[in-house]
Amino acid sequence: MFSFFLEKWSLQPGGGRVATRSSQLLPVRWRGLPAMLKVAEDDEEQRGRLSMRWWAGQGAAEVYAADDDALVMERTDSRRSLFHMAMTGSDEAATRIICNTVAALHAPRETPVPDLIPLERWFAALAPAARTHGGVLARSLAAAEALFADPHPPVVLHADIHHGNILDFGARGWLAIDSKPVYGDPGYDYANLFCNPELAVVTEPGRLQRHLPVVAEAAGLAPRRILSWILAYSGLSAAWFLEDDDDFNVEGEMLIARIAAAELDK
């Protein structure tokens, strides 16, 4: 799998292979620099290169080379982790770092926006799930429809912001990796701060209330609008997990949706 790209871009292997659900990764050296070769195995991951290249290393890891199937991007060996920070008493500090990174990604560029998926189409799975299951998913759908009816100016979204997709690059700061190819309302990218099911603290009592003003200030968005995006996003995420028959994560996302709905109802 890797040999073609190693030869194509004159890369030197620099570590062992890492497999994820959607990609194969290999640490390499590119022109003497530490880099990561990523060979994507589905269309969304492959097209994520479009936004990564568009950011040109501002707020995101720099892409050194790319084609339709793979990319070579800047690599960090730092062991600092936002996930570890959030789980060991520095949750709010991790949130502020993520917000700063998202703001850098959303900053205006003069470069034409690439061919990305409109956010409304990204939400395609929510409506059928809401019709089938009702309940809080119906609330999530209503929130999404209201947000799309009152959009903010669109930006190139990362669309998979979570504590594992923003890494410490030392002097370059905290930078995003592994984006999805989505374009739309900036509020969407802030919602996953509250929705990552792998982060146990997301459903702790009071966490949403503590972090909401922090995110609202950093994002320049009204707290109620962020709550609406949390409700919409968690419903969409639950719909995706329903498609995968992942009952554990479905329940986690529905709990987050109910927490957001309760806050909106106050």
What does each of the 266 residues of the chain score in pLDDT, given as a tens digit? Answer: 799 999 999 999 998 999 888 899 999 999 999 999 999 988 888 999 999 999 999 999 999 999 999 999 999 999 999 999 999 999 999 999 999 999 999 999 999 999 999 999 999 999 999 999 999 999 999 999 999 999 999 999 999 999 999 999 999 999 999 999 999 999 999 998 898 877 888 889 999 999 999 999 999 999 999 999 999 999 999 999 999 998 888 999 999 999 999 999 99
Ordered structural domains, the chain, with CATH = 3-74 (3.30.200), 82-265 (3.90.1200.10)
Render 193-215 in DSSP notation, one character per residue: GGT-TT-GGGGSTTHHHHHHHHH
Question: Which residues are catalytic, by number?
Answer: 160
- Encode 197-221: b = buried (16+ Cβ within 10 Å), e = exposed: bebeebbeeebbeebbeebbebbeb
